[in-house]
Amino acid sequence: MDLSDSVEVLKGVGPKTAVILNKYGIRTVRDLLYTLPRDYENYEAPTSIAEMRPGKVVIKGKIDSLSSRRAKKRNLSITEGVIRDTTGAVKVVWFNQSYRVRQFSPEKEYYFTGNYEFKNGRYSLISPSAAEVSGVDPISGLSPIYVAHGGLKSNDFKRIISKSRDIFISIPDLLPSVRHGTRAKALFYAHFPNSEKSIGGARNYLAYEELFELILASQLNRRENDKLQAEPIAFRVNKIRELVESLPFKLTMAQRRAAWDIFQDMGKATPMNRLLQGDVGSGKTIVAGMSAYEAFLGGVQVAILAPTAILASQHYEGLKAILEPLGVKIALLTGATKKKPELKKQIREGVINLVIGTHALLTDDTDFMKLGLVIIDEQHRFGVEQRQKLMLKSPAGLAPHLLAMTATPIPRSLQLTVFGDLDVSILDELPAGRQPITTAIITEVETKEKLYPHMEKILQSAPDQKKHGIKAHGQQIYWICKAIDDVDGKTAGDSSDKLDITSVKKRCRRLREVFPNARVEFLHGKLKPSEKDVVMEQFAAGEIDILVSTTVVEVGVDVPNATLMVIENAESYGLAQLHQLRGRVGRGASAAYCYLLTSGDMRPSRRLTELVKSNDGFHLAEVDLKLRGPGEIYGALQHGALDLRIASLSDTKLISRARKDVGIFLQNPENMVKYRELMGGIAKYQQITTLN
């Protein structure tokens, strides 16, 4: 038997079962063997029924008179029966598990474990888990519990896998150089443990295997990238110096270092594949601008991809001011762009040197004459296919240099695994003069005495930057809401001060009442792109004092005169997102504030208290990894692609061992041919470990 054979070759799998398994992606023998138990039940040392005491018990016996009925009141099915051993009998009850009626045969002996308690006037065993005695290891009493897949319950998996017990012995190893044990043993003990220790050993082995695959995939991506050809772009030091000197500020050391890394990469004939990580406000845009200028000087076109129209137009305005005087022809291409065919023609003919755009850039009819550099802002907002689309727009035989930017820092453990040997530059320094953002948790009842007065003060403060002086009356405020529309049916004029009002529109009305002299507007994702742009432009120009918005302002938008943010229903956001949102303020020289508004019903979560304590995105990313696990943090993984079965991305010891072994593995090119199963299996990981 081969591991890649269809599950149907297994004794316990008939056509019906196969259909269900296939539906859940379990197609091959390998898939089934890697469907590992979610946990184990321990049926060690059963007591006799006569000696049972209330509480958790393990008993061993036969079951009869099993029947199922519907409870009258609630929509509940009740399955009842009697368990007997040589010392006595006990009533057993399951709720909403009517399949139990078919699970047992009256001649066979089973273990049961559950709570023995007083319910509905008598003692019974409540919803115990059950396992056939013959299928449980006699010494350890351990029995696996599988996740139910549709109609297939844990016990069905147990039955199927037990029938295949004899195939484990011939399972070949997936990897070379594993120091302890074999895959055959690891998989066997995962399904048929004979001690707690054997489970630990099995999980450790399989976790290692998984990390090895992930790291190998990531490193192979790098090798593949290194085989590609790109247009080398020479570093024109004097021209770049001119640009830097024309800027209204001095670059930070971190910006200089990042730009230097990028210029080195772009000088090579293999494509750059670099990730620029910088906390919100660290100044990634100008680094992108310098790279774009360098590419322009080298005679190639540049595309900058941004996740939203607002952000694209902000980049466009910002970079136009800097680069157009130097002769760069810049265009903006978003869904709202007029005369698209004409613009696309200019891009195709190479008249446009730098195009900044949204998804609109990715359409098939956007062609470049000589695309040499692709910059992706907030790269985790884009899927692999989207990024690839742009990369394919370069001339035949040449790959563009790629600079990906993100403000969502990748925790180091992820960097070592998922993004293996990616080139990374980090902006770990904020521009001079920035004030840290003071963050505080505030409850509903405190709004009137604490929050509103502070907001009033902000509205009265002198504008942060001179250029806003004309239109901005004072400093500006973001108020972030969860919902767009009224949710609870209350109408305008509702003067209750309770903050159960979470919609953008309602909050906007409310704030207009509280601050009659302020110009309050709202923004949300359902507005037309052109409407959104108008509101955002007005806010940026200081024509709006308080902007009530959903999280559409989360990404990248830069209004230095906005110095206070309120995040309503703060508990409903993730840590990374809260940090991103908060980064919309504190972008100028004035002190900035972020209020996390909560109902006050519960103690604030760890997420919020961590946010109050730290302004450091890298630190917060580590915390987030610990609190939530990796899948939810990093955008590229948002589709659940990185569902590691068992490996933990915070197991740094195992990670570094796997990394070392992958290094050794890659030294021998023959391995790539020899380990076919391994090489075939890592394609799925390569999809998510690639930048381009």
Contact footprint for ligand ADP (CB under 6 A): 249-252, 255, 278, 280-286, 407, 431, 556, 558, 560, 587
What tokens were used for 593? 């504030």
186 binds, among ligand ADP, Mg ion, none (CB under 5 to 8 A by kind): none
Amino acid at 484: I
**Choice between 144 and 556, CB closer to Mg ion:** 556
Residue (416 or 559) nearer to ligand ADP, CB: 559
CB 445 → ligand ADP: shortest distance, Å? Answer: 34
- C-beta of 130 vs 592, nearer to ligand ADP: 592
Per the DSSP assignment, residues forming a β-bridge with 476 are 562
Q: Closest separation between CB of residue 273 and ligand ADP, Å?
A: 20
Alpha carbon distance 7, 19 (integer Å): 10
Residue pair 405/377 in contact by the 8 Å Cβ criterion: yes
Q: Nearest approach, Cβ of 380 to Mg ion (angstroms)?
A: 13
280 contact choice in Mg ion, ligand ADP, none (CB below 5 to 8 Å, kind-dependent): ligand ADP
Position of minimal CB gap to ligand ADP: 283
Minimum Å distance from CB 250 to ligand ADP? 6
Tokens for 57?
């018990």
Q: CA–CA separation, 55 vs 251, rounded Å?
A: 67
Least distance in angstroms from the C-beta of 431 to ligand ADP: 3
- What are φ and ψ of residue 326, in 5° steps? -90, 5
Q: Which residue has the tokens 């200028």?
A: 293
251 binds, among Mg ion, ligand ADP, none (CB under 5 to 8 A by kind): ligand ADP
Whose Cβ is closer to Mg ion: residue 100's or residue 532's?
A: 532
Least Å distance between CB 302 and ligand ADP? 17
Pick the closer one to Mg ion by CB: 553 or 608. 553
Report DSSP state, residue 260.
H
Centre a 10 Å sphere on the Cβ of residue 572 and count the other Cβ atoms it contains: 12
Q: Helix or strand or coil: residue 247?
A: coil
Q: Smaller CB distance to ligand ADP: residue 276 or 297? A: 276
Give which of 431, 417, 363 is closest to 685, Cα–Cα. Answer: 417
User: Based on CB atoms, which residue is closest to Mg ion, 380 or 510?
Assistant: 380
Of the residues 37, 201, 283, 556, which one makes contact with Mg ion according to CB under 5 A: 556
Taking the complex as a whole, how short is the minimal distance between the CB of residue 286 and ligand ADP, in angstroms? 5
Our CA angle for 546, 548, 554, nearest 5°, is 110
Q: Which is nearer to Mg ion, 556 or 560 (CB)?
A: 556
Q: Which residue is associated with the tokens 């390998």?
A: 30
User: What's the chain's length in residues?
Assistant: 692
Binding mask 447-486 for Mg ion (x = CB under 5 A): ----------------------------------------
201 binds, among Mg ion, ligand ADP, none (CB under 5 to 8 A by kind): none
**Cβ proximity to Mg ion, 431 vs 556, nearer residue:** 556
Spatial contact of 508 and 522, defined as CB atoms under 8 Å apart: yes
Size of the site for Mg ion (CB under 5 A): 1
- The option from Mg ion, ligand ADP, none interacting with 463 (CB < 5 to 8 A, set by class) reads none
| Complex with Mg ion: residue 262 or 682, whichever CB lies closer | 262
| SS3 of residue 309 by DSSP | helix
Q: Give me the least distance between CB of 281 and Mg ion, in Å please.
A: 8
Q: How far is the CB of 531 from Mg ion (least distance, A)?
A: 23
Task: Indicate the DSSP class of residue 448.
Answer: I
Distance CA 543, CA 191 (A): 66
Nearest to 373 by CA among 238, 223, 271: 271
Separation CA 616–CA 514 (nearest Å):
34
Question: Could you say which of Mg ion, ligand ADP, none residue 163 binds, taking C-beta under 5 to 8 angstroms by partner kind?
Answer: none
User: What, of ligand ADP, Mg ion, none, does residue 274 touch, CB below 5 to 8 Å by kind?
Assistant: none
- Residue with Cβ nearer ligand ADP (92 or 407): 407
Q: Measure Cα distances from 568 to 439, 483, 555, 596, 612 in Å.
A: 13, 10, 18, 6, 15
Q: Count CB neighbours of 379 within 10 A.
A: 23
The piece of 154-162, 262-270, 513-521, 553-561 that touches Mg ion (CB under 5 A) is 553-561
Residue 294 interacts with which of ligand ADP, Mg ion, none, CB < 5 to 8 Å by class: none
Selected range binding Mg ion among 336-344, 550-558, 643-651, 677-685, rule: CB under 5 A:
550-558
Can you state the angle between helices 309-323 and 237-246, rounded to 10 degrees?
110
Residue 590 CB, shortest distance to ligand ADP, in Å, is 13
| φ/ψ bin of 433: left (φ > 0), alpha (ψ from -120 to 50), beta (otherwise) | left
131 pairs with which residues across the strands?
A: 111
According to DSSP, the residues that pair with 82 across neighbouring strands are 64, 91
Q: Determine the Cα angle at 517 with ends 516 and 521, to 5°.
A: 80
Indicate the residue among 463 and 556 with the shorter CB distance to Mg ion: 556
Shorter beta-carbon distance to ligand ADP: residue 431 or 529: 431
Q: Which residue is nearest to Mg ion (CB)?
A: 556
In the complex, least distance from residue 384 CB atom to ligand ADP, rounded to whole angstroms: 23
Which one of Mg ion, ligand ADP, none is in contact with 286 (Cβ closer than 5 to 8 A by kind)? ligand ADP
Question: Pick from 493, 441, 474: which is nearest to 544 by CA?
Answer: 474
**Which one of the spans 161-169, 419-427, 491-499, 548-556 is the region binding Mg ion (CB under 5 A)?**
548-556
Residue 124 or residue 252: which is nearer to ligand ADP going by CB?
Answer: 252
Q: Pick the stretch among 5-13, 120-128, 213-221, 549-557 that binds Mg ion (CB under 5 A).
A: 549-557
Angle at alpha carbon of residue 331, lines to 325 and 336, rounded to 5°? 140
The closest of 428, 345, 624, 174 to 331, measured between CA atoms, is 345
Closest distance of CB 58 from ligand ADP, Å: 58
Residues 602-661 close enough to bind Mg ion by CB under 5 A = none
Strand-pairing partners, residue 91, are 82
* Min dist. Cβ of residue 588 to ligand ADP (A): 8
Burial of residue 560, with CB atoms counted within 10 A of its CB: 0-12 exposed, 13-18 middle, 19 or more buried: buried
Query: Least distance (Å) from ligand ADP to the CB of residue 303?
Result: 17
Scored b (16 or more CB within 10 A) or e, 91-121 reads: bbbbeeeebbeebbeeeeebbbbbebeeeee
Minimal distance, residue 624 CB to Mg ion, in Å: 20
Closest CB to ligand ADP among residues 249, 260? 249
Q: Which residues contact 478 (CB under 8 A, 6 or more apart)?
A: 546, 547, 549, 553, 562, 564, 565, 566, 584, 585
The residue range among 15-23, 225-233, 556-564, 585-593 that interacts with Mg ion, by the rule CB under 5 A, is 556-564
Q: Which residues bind Mg ion (CB under 5 A)?
A: 556
